[in-house]
Amino acid sequence: MMDTKSKTDRTNMPAESANKSGRPYVLPYMQNRELSWLEFNKRVLDQGEDHNVPLLERLTRVSIFSSNLQEFFMVRVGSLTDLSLVNKELRDNKTQMTPDEQLRAIYDRCHELYPEQERIYRQIQEKLAERGIRQLMEDELNKEQAAYLREYLNAQVVPYLSPQIINSRHPFPHLENGALYVLLRLDEENAPEKTKGSDKKKEKNLGAEDATFGLVPLPRQAKRVIPLPGEGTQFILLENALKTIVGDVFSMYTTKRASVICVTRNADIDPNDYGTEDMDYDYREHMKRILKKRARLAPVRLETDTPLSPVTKKFLLKRLGLKMHQVYVTSVPLDMGYAWGLDGMVKPELARKLTPEPFTPTWPACLDRKRSIIEQVCEKDVLLMYPYESMDPFVNMLREAANDPSVISIKITLYRLASQSHLAEALLAAAENGKEVTALFELRARFDESNNIEWSQRFEQAGANVIYGFHDFKVHSKICAITRHTDKGIQHITQLGTGNYNEKTSKLYTDFSFITTNESIGKDAAEFFRNMQLENASDRYQTLSVAPLQIKPMILAKIDEQIELARAGKPNGLMFKTNSVTDKDIIDKIAEASQAGVHATLFVRGISCLVPGVEGYTDNVKVVSIVGRLLEHSRIYGFGPRDNREIYLSSADLMTRNMEKRVEIAWPIINPELKEKVNEYLDTSLSDTAKLRMLKSDLSYTPLEFFATEGPDGIPESFDSQEYLIKKAREDYLHSLEVREEQAALRSATARVQRIRDREMKESPVTPLVENPETGEPLTSAQTTVPEADESLQETATNEQVTLEILAEETPLQETAAEISTDTSAQASVAQAAEPGAEVNAETTDTTIDTTAQVNSASATGGIEEIEPGVAGPSAMTSASAPADTSVSSGVPAASTEADPAQTQMPSVQTATPEVEVLSGEQKATDAGVIQLVPKKPSLWTRIKFLFTGKLS
């Protein structure tokens, strides 16, 4: 074992000189990208045997495994096949494997994965059968089902069949990529006399090497799943059903065993490989011709549902140009797409038990759906988290922009669109309304080329400016720029995303969507679209980092900063969330950071060419992955420790193609609140104990279920981060509704109080004369106006609901009426302090008490005193020796008993005669007289303060 220093030196050595044998040295912390991808797909397959996943959902995981593998063979295996024909010695820069070596490793690994798929599929079928859901094979039908099926096929399927004979007169046909066929061997020797031919020597069979075959393509017009009569839910797949009637189809032959076959073809086409550089051509028409070529590219895989006879296998391999290791035999249906509609065939109550709880993205809590989205994003930056939060606000914003007179232009990059897109319709409406709409379509978005071609034509017809980006780079960035003319000048609204503008995938993929009016970002966005129209790969952006020139250097420089911090003994860290990590320069830099003591966490859904935990290289690197209900798709770059992390969001994975061969955008998150939202998302994801897997140095992925907490019944309870975030988004939205309802009630109550105040001011235009206690001069009306409630009281309101209930009654409180003794010498008007909240002398004040709430006594000048419900106040008993002209403790003189009549319009508190005990809500007679307690209307100041504090004090 070499020491760390020698390993570090070797890491930095050129690969060509690291091995004297001539074969470049393979660094131990890197693995081949293709083999890493196959392990990712294995994690998808593993979900099929996860008992925490509903049964029908487990079946769809097997379907996803199959469709993923189909695309992998079409693209990656197809590309390597082409490379093996062009340059056999071209080597992978991480593992130094040639194309042929990689291909053989891929085929061998897939021969290990197919049996795993069969095993898991059989388990699911057995569990479904226990629930009354059975997929039957052709030899499992009872008489009733066989009779029903024959009648069904003759009526619904046979009219669409196009059977073919392959023999000397009918050469081998073209087998479409991914299509299913029923293939069977036909015996001409046992055929009826009319088909045996003449006694002449048979002509050489040019198509089948002295063998005859029958071929029946599955008709596209027929249903794939055929329900059958019987208990529960029983069905048969179309390809298996056809096996029951092929004898009738080829009735002139003796038929032998039939098999279902499927051919996978190379689909990795490069539009630039067809000599277009010096041609004057319509790029859209050129792409249409390229797509036609894809359908006829070379086969790379053959699948069959039963073992083929030696004759049939030899025949197919020769005609398809394949070898034995490229043939896969599996009992799993060759097209698993049927699994997605199976829940519609079972009873609803059973389907609910066998599928996940329905999930609809929630309206984001940060936005009020009753208000203009444009207005709200002008007030604050917005960060949406798909699919937990809905894409609808962004679509609504585009709809607003389409009809907003202040909007000048809308510019957007479109990589993948839904076939039925509300977003696209909003952009078309904007163009038809006269807005300047620029749409950059990437016609080379793999497998979405046709859809993008159709949409680009519609955009042109609507009057939009359609561009196609660079000749040499795919435009993979997700950016939308809205330009408005406001009273303050030109305003830019910019949206940046980590995922596509596709409403369908936005409900399945986790992504971030950032909307801002930041001027620097807005200017960069405007510059970006100018550069796209000029095919200028500029690096002159102030805030945005744009590939192919800026993102990779930015990442490497930021990692260097963390290395320097680590060497200085300061807090540091790296966090990357991405779909794949393949770029060798970035992997080397992360390994260097690890050796310097930087702790790095890589949250990688798919390919990780970086191997963590390799002693002396990646000791401080952790690689984790989540494969769950939703597809983890967002890209996050984090530099620094968690609480001081610099965060970038991006459309780019850490792959060489994204860093160097595509137009991508990364942007910083500056707002502390939004930055914390990203950090909390990462914290939640990395706390997962249900779906999180950790990559080990031996290239295996280990589940973290042993971290699950023990539930009340003693059974471990795992934590599913995605399910948690789904629920949290709903709860946040419901809480935001409550808050907005309370705020609306508060605004309504405030307006009602204002109306009451305005009415009282109108009814009482004469201001009572009040003297200044210090100067003796009359106070002006402005000086005696009831003060407004300050903002702090509004912000700390805790009892708005009580306020609403009180004010919603729409009935004014009863005016205070006091029946007092005829002994006028005992009457005295008590005035409280002019400033609210001044304490009243307990010896000189009587009050009335409301037994149902805290009610305050108010003097002629608006003073208040707080008294607890049902308890006599400190002034309940008055002293017999108290003089009539008492004053408040603050030193303000009591009002004269001979006050101006105008003063009687203000609420007042009258003192009782000596020896009178005041009781709440009842009368009490004494020798001195009677006081009748009546509900009393609080002062305007008291009501306003109650509105914001919940207290009548």
Identity of the residue numbered 589 = K
Show the tokens assigned to 881: 């020796």
Upper half-sphere CA count for residue 224 (Cβ side, 13 Å): 14
Residues near 909 by beta carbon (within 8 Å), at least 6 away in sequence: 829, 830, 845, 846, 847, 848, 857, 858, 859
Closest to 67 in 3D by CA, of 91, 41, 47 = 41
Which listed residue (174, 476, 485, 492) is catalytic? 476
| Rounded Cα gap, residues 76 and 220, in angstroms | 28
At residue 55, what is the residue type? L
Structure tokens that stand for 670 in this block: 């500056």
199: number of Cβ within 10 Å? 5
Residue among 427, 439, 443, 605 nearest 68 (CA): 605
Q: Of the candidates 611, 627, 628, which has an alpha carbon nearest to the alpha carbon of residue 619?
A: 611
Contact partners, residue 888, CB within 8 Å, separation at least 6:
830, 831, 832, 833, 838, 839, 840, 841, 844, 863, 894
Q: Which residues lie below 8 Å from residue 777, measured CB to CB, with a gap of 6+?
A: 771
Amino acid present at 380: K
3-class DSSP assignment, residue 303:
strand
**One-letter identity of residue 787:** P
Separation between Cα atoms, residue 649 and residue 668, nearest integer Å: 6
Tokens 């809480």, residue located: 735
CB contact at 8 A, 447 and 453: no
Q: Are 609 and 31 in contact (CB under 8 A)?
A: yes
- Cα–Cα–Cα angle for 407, 413, 418, nearest 5°? 105
3-state helix, strand, coil in the chain (%, to 5): 40, 20, 45
The conformation of residue 20, written as its DSSP 8-state character, comes to T
Q: Which of 535, 427, 515 is nearest to 475 (CA)?
A: 535
Those residues with Cβ within 8 angstroms of residue 107's Cβ, 6 or more apart along the chain or in another chain: 325, 326
Length of the chain: 953
Q: What is the identity of the amino acid at 130?
A: E
Concatenate the DSSP letters of all residues of 677-713 into one string: HHHHHHHHHHT-SSSEEEE-TTS-EEE-GGGPEE-TT
Structure tokens at 438: 């620029």
- Per DSSP bridges, beta strands 465-467 and 436-441 are parallel
What does the DSSP 8-state code read for residue 911? P
Q: Which of 811, 892, 806 is nearest to 855 (CA)?
A: 806
C-alpha span between 491 and 519 (Å, rounded): 8
Residues with Cβ within 8 Å of 844's Cβ and at least 6 positions away in sequence, in order, are 830, 875, 878, 882, 886, 887, 888, 894, 911
Q: How far is CA 731 from CA 630, 674, 726, in A?
A: 19, 18, 9
Longest CA–CA separation in the chain, Å: 147
Q: Is 51 a catalytic residue?
A: no
Q: Which of 523, 511, 431 is nearest to 481 (CA)?
A: 523
Q: In whole angstroms, give the CA distance from residue 840 to residue 908.
A: 13
As a whole number of angstroms, the distance between CA 488 and CA 510 comes to 37
What distance, in Å, lies between the first and last C-alpha atoms of the chain? 79
Catalytic residues: 476
